[in-house]
Structure 1
Amino acid sequence: MLSWEQSPGIALMRRERAWVEVNLSAIAHNVQQIRRLLSDQTELMAVVKADAYGHGATTVAQAALHAGATWLGVATIPEGIELREAGIDAPVLVLGANHTPEQIRAIVHWQLQPTLCTPRQALIFADVLAQTQQPSLSVHLKLDTGMSRLGTDWQAAAEFVQLVQRLPKLQIDSVYSHLATAEDPNRTIAKQQQQRFEAAIAQINACGIYPPRLHLANSGGTLSDATFHYDMVRVGLAIYGLYPADHLKAVLDLQPALQVRARVTQVKTIPPGTGVSYGHRYVADQERQIAVVAIGYADGVPRNLSNKMEAIVRGQRVPQIGAVTMDQLMLDVSAIPDLREGEVVTLLGQDGNESIAANDWAAILDTISWEILCGFKHRLPRIAIGK
C-alpha cells in the first residue's frame, strides 16, 4: 500500500501552497569550503540537530558526509535514531544530557555516542551498562569553561576524567567544551575559555590520560581562529550557508542552502482607506493591488514581521502589508502588472537579482538567524534541489 506521501499527485501538491527548498549542492559547497580551513588531521562534525536547522536532517547529513564531514551532531536521542533509520552509519554524537536507563539502552541499541556532563551521570551510565551485554560504550566528556551550560567545571576536569577512566564499559572518545562568544570580534572571553580548556587538558594529561580527541569550536570558532580547531570542529550554521557574524564573511564563500517559497492564491484591487488583515494595522493610502499568499505564522513566518518585511515576486521586491495571519499574508503588488493566482513568491532566497536572507529577518526582529531557520514548521514540505 502506498503511504500518503507516495500517493499519486502528492509530489505535485508539495509545491501547491508553500514549501522549503534545500539546495544540497550548496550544503556540499559549504562543507568543502569549511574543510579547506582545516588541517588534514582535524575532522568535521556536521551539526544536524533541530532537523538540520530546519533543512531536513537525513538529506543534509548524507550530503555533508558525502562532501567531507566525518561526524554528525544531534541534540537528542530521537534525532540520532532518525539518522540510523535512514541507513546512516557515521559516528553520531548526542550533544544533550541523558540520564535514564531507557535513554542509555536506546543509545546502546542505536550505536549513538553520548555526552557525559557530570560524575553522577557517568555512574548512572556505568550501572546501566553493567546490566547489558555491551562490551564498551564510547563517551564524550564535556567541560564547562565559561558557557555556564552543560559540563563539569573545568577545574574539576582531572577528577571527572579519572572517574570515567576507572568505570567499566566506558571508553573515553573525546573531551570537549563549547565557546560562548566565538563570533565576537573581541576574542577576550573566547581566549579565556581556550586557556581554561587547555589548562584542564594539561591536568588530565598529568594523570597519564590522553583523550583521543579534543574539540572546542562551533561555526564562529572554526571561522575565526585556527587555534580553536584541535582534533575536530562542530559546525552547524556555516554548513547551511550563513555566517555567525558579518566580519567573518571574508573568511570563506558560503552559499545559503534554504529558500522559502509560496504561491499567490488571490489578487485583488482595494480602494483608498481600505484596511488590510486583522486589526487593520495597514490602511491603503491610495488604490492598491494586493496579493494573498499561502503562508503564515503557523508555517514559521514570524507575526512580528508584519508590515516590516518584503518578498520577491518576478525578481522584484514588494512590501508585505497588514498583520501576518496563521496561514496567509498579504503583499502590495501594485508594481507588478497582471499578477495571477498560482505565481510563486520568494520569502527567503533568491529570485533574479534580488535575495532575502534569514539574517535580514533576524535584523528586523533583533534575534539571530539560527532562530529564523529553526522556525519553519513541518507543514512546509522540504524539497531537495541541486543534488
Structure 2
Amino acid sequence: MNHFSTQYQQQRAWVNINHQALVDNVQALKSFLNPHTQLMAVIKADAYGHGAVKVAQTILQSGVDSLAIATLPEGIELREAGILAPIMILGAINSIEQIKDIVKYNLEPTLCTPHQAFIFGETLAQLNATLSVHLKLDTGMSRLGTHWHNGIDFVNYIQQFPQLHISSIYSHLATADDVDTTVMKLQHSRFEEVISALKATGVDIPRLHLANSAGTLCDRTLHYDMVRVGLALYGIYPAPHLHDTIKLQPALEVKARITQIKTLSPGTGVSYGHTFKCDQATKIAVVGIGYADGIPRLLSNKMKVIIRGKFADQIGNITMDQLMLNITDFPDLEVEETVTLLGKEGDLEITADDWANSIGTISWEILCSFKHRLPRVVIENS
C-alpha cells in the first residue's frame, strides 16, 4: 500500500522511504547473525536520513532488539515519540545537565574516560539514581574510548561507582570494509586480550559488541553478544566485496518534478558558469531540486536520472534549488512529470553508491545529506 497523501502530491521534490525494505533487511540480518547475537540498529542522524521515529517503530516491530543514536536530543526525540526500547548514546556526554536528562529519559550513555565516569558517578549520587552504561575501548579507531592497554583499569574504576551498571563493553572497527583484514584482525585481537584479562581477574563480563555493518557481514567471529548495524539496515552494502553475503534492499528513493521545459539553440550555455554548452539544439527540463536539498553540487554534469524507464543526463551546474536535464530524446515529456534521482524504475536503478563513487565520497554521506525540506513519504508494500 502506498500512503502518498495529496499534500505530498503537490511537492516539487520528496524522499520515499520503503518500510517493507527495512523489514526485509532486518529479517535478512537476523537470519545471518549467530543464534544468540542481538541486533542493535543505529538510527543516528535521523536514521541516516530515513526518519528516525518512523524507522524505529517499524524495525522494533520487526525484531530489532535495541537502538543506538549519537546525541542526547536524538534520544529524547525517540522517547517523546513513545519509543520504549533500550537506547544507547554513541557520543560522549560530559555535561551535568545532560546527565540529568539522560536519567530523565532513561537513556544509556557511552563512557569513554575515567574523568567522564567520575562526573556521571558524582551526578548520579546527588540524584540518587542509577544508570546502565556502555564502556568504550579504543582498539585502533583513535576516536572515542579509553586505550585498550588501560581497559582493565578503566573497568575496575567504573566498578567503584555503585550508581553505574555496566551494560556492555565495546569497541569500533576502523577498517572492516577493507578487503585487507589486517587492521580489523589486530583490533579484534586487542579486544579479545582485554576481555580475556578481565575474565582472568574474575570480572563479571557484561555484553560485548564490536561489529559495525561491515564487520557483521564479513566475519561471524565478530558478532559477540550484539552487533551495531547502521548502513546495512538501510539496504546499502558497506563495501562491494560484501554484496554476496545477504540480500539487502535500498529503502530510500529521491523523486522530483519537472517545473519547466524549453529548447536551447546550439552554443547556448546552461546554468552558472556555463560548464555545459549545447552543441546542437537541445531540449532541457528544469527540475525542482538542488544542492540545498542534498543533491551534491559535485555531481554537476556527472549524474543521470530516470524518466519513464530511461536514463537522462543532468547538464550544467546544479544550483541551490534546481537542476537541468537534457531531454532531447524525450519529445513528449510534460511539466509536473516525476523524475527519479535515486531509486529504481523498471530495470534501471541509481544508488547512493553510484553518486558516492562519482564524486569520491561514501554512501553514508549521501544518505545523510537530504534536507528536511524534502518531505519523507512512507511507502508500505503489502
1:15 Cα deviation from its structure 2 partner: 4.6
Aligned pairs (5 A) from 1:93-112: 93-112=88-107
Matches within 5 A, 1:223-242: 223-242=217-236
Provide, for residues 195-233 of structure 1, a one-character-per-residue CA deviation record: whole Å limited to 9, x for no partner: 000101112222221232000000000000000000000
Match of 1:182 among 143, 165, 176: 176
Counterpart-to-counterpart distance in 2, 1:250 and 1:64: 23
1:61 aligned to 2:56?
yes
The match for 2:192 among 198, 201, 226 is: 198
1:219-258 matches, within 5 Å, as 219-258=213-252
Closer/same/farther in 2, CA of residues 281 and 55 from structure 1, 3 Å limit:
same
Q: Identity percentage over the alignment? A: 59
2:21 maps to which of 16, 21, 26: 26
CA contact (8 A) 2:300 2:316 kept: yes
- Give, in whole Å, the separation in 2 of the partners of 1:30 and 1:47: 13
CA distances 1:126-172 after superposition (whole Å, capped 9, x unpaired): 010011132x2100000000000000011111110011111121000
Letter in 1 for 2:33: L
CA shift in 2, pair 1:226/1:289, >3 Å = same
User: For 1:87-98, what aligned pairs fall within 5 Å after superposition?
Assistant: 87-98=82-93
Aligned: 1:42 with 2:37: yes
**Equivalent AA in structure 1 for residue 313 of structure 2:** P
Letter in 1 for 2:102: I
What is the distance in 1 between the residues matched to 2:24 and 2:292? 31
* Secondary structure at 2:336 match in 1: coil
Counterpart contact for 1:173–1:211, Cα < 8 Å: no
Q: Aligned equivalents of 2:179 and 2:168: distance in 1?
A: 28
Task: Give the secondary-structure state (helix, strand or coil) at the position aligned to 1:81.
Answer: helix
Count residues in correspondence: 378
Between the aligned partners of 1:159 and 1:16, the Cα distance in structure 2 is 56
The separation in 2 between residues aligned to 1:383 and 1:275, in whole angstroms, is 36
What is the SS of the residue equivalent to 2:169? strand
Report the TM-score when normalising by structure 2: 0.97
* SS of 2:159 mapped into structure 1: helix
Instruction: Answer with 362-371 or 14-23: which moved more.
Output: 14-23
- d(CA) in 1 for partners of 2:31 and 2:77? 29
One-letter code of the match for 1:235? V
Greater shift after overlay, 153-162 or 59-68?
59-68
Give the secondary structure class of the aligned counterpart of 1:194.
Answer: helix
Tell me the secondary structure at the aligned position of residue 41 of structure 1: coil
Alignment partner of 1:117 out of 101, 104, 112: 112
Gaps of 5+ in 1: 1-8
SS of residue in 2 equivalent to 1:256: coil
Instruction: Name the CA distance, whole Å, in 2 between partners of 1:229 and 1:216.
Output: 7
- Which one is further off, 223-232 or 177-186? 177-186
Q: Is the 8 A contact 2:8 2:375 kept in 1?
A: no
- Asked if 1:165 corresponds to 2:128, the answer is no
Instruction: Tell me whether 208-217 or 319-328 shows the greater mean CA deviation.
Output: 208-217
Provide Cα deviations, 1:254-301, integer angstroms capped at 9, x if missing partner.
Answer: 000000000000011111111111111111000111000000000000
Instruction: Indicate yes or no: 2:205 matched with 1:211.
Output: yes
TM-score (norm 1): 0.96
The Cα of 1:32 is off from its aligned counterpart by: 0.5
Quote how far apart the aligned CAs of 1:303 are.
Answer: 0.6
Classify the secondary structure of the residue corresponding to 1:130: helix
Instruction: Report the Cα offset of residue 243 of structure 1.
Output: 0.3
Partner of 1:6: none
Cα deviation for residue 11 of structure 1 reads 4.7
Range with bigger deviation, 201-210 or 280-289: 201-210
SS for the counterpart of 2:126 is coil
Asked whether the 8 Å contact 1:14–1:381 carries over to 2, the reply is no
In structure 2, relative to structure 1, the CA distance for the partners of 1:213 and 1:15 (3 Å cut) is farther
Alignment of 1:283-294 (within 5 A): 283-294=277-288
Letter in 1 for 2:121: A
Taking the aligned partners of 1:228 and 1:122, their CA distance within structure 2 comes to 27
CA contact (8 A) 1:158 1:207 kept: no
Distance 2:261 2:244 in 1: 42
Alignment of 1:150-161 (within 5 A): 150-161=144-155
Q: For 2:209 and 2:10, locate their aligned partners in 1 and report how far apart those are by CA, in whole Å.
A: 41
Distance 1:123 1:362 in 2: 42
Equivalent-residue separation in structure 1 for 2:301 and 2:10 (angstroms): 26
Q: Which residue of 1 aligns with 2:293?
A: 299
Q: Deviations over 1:295-316 (max 9, x none)?
A: 0000000111100100111111
Read off the aligned partner of 2:97 and give its amino acid letter: E
Counterpart check, 1:266 vs 2:260: yes
Structure 2 SS opposite 1:340: coil
Aligned-pair CA distance for 1:39: 2.2
1:157–1:203 Cα contact (<8 Å) kept: no
Contact 2:40 2:226 in 1 (8 A): yes
Aligned position for 1:365: 359
| Contact persistence 2:66–2:87 (CA under 8 A) | yes
Specify every segment of 5 or more residues in structure 2 that has no aligned partner in the other structure, as ranges: none
State whether residues 137 and 170 of structure 2, in contact with CA within 8 Å, keep that contact through their aligned partners in structure 1.
yes
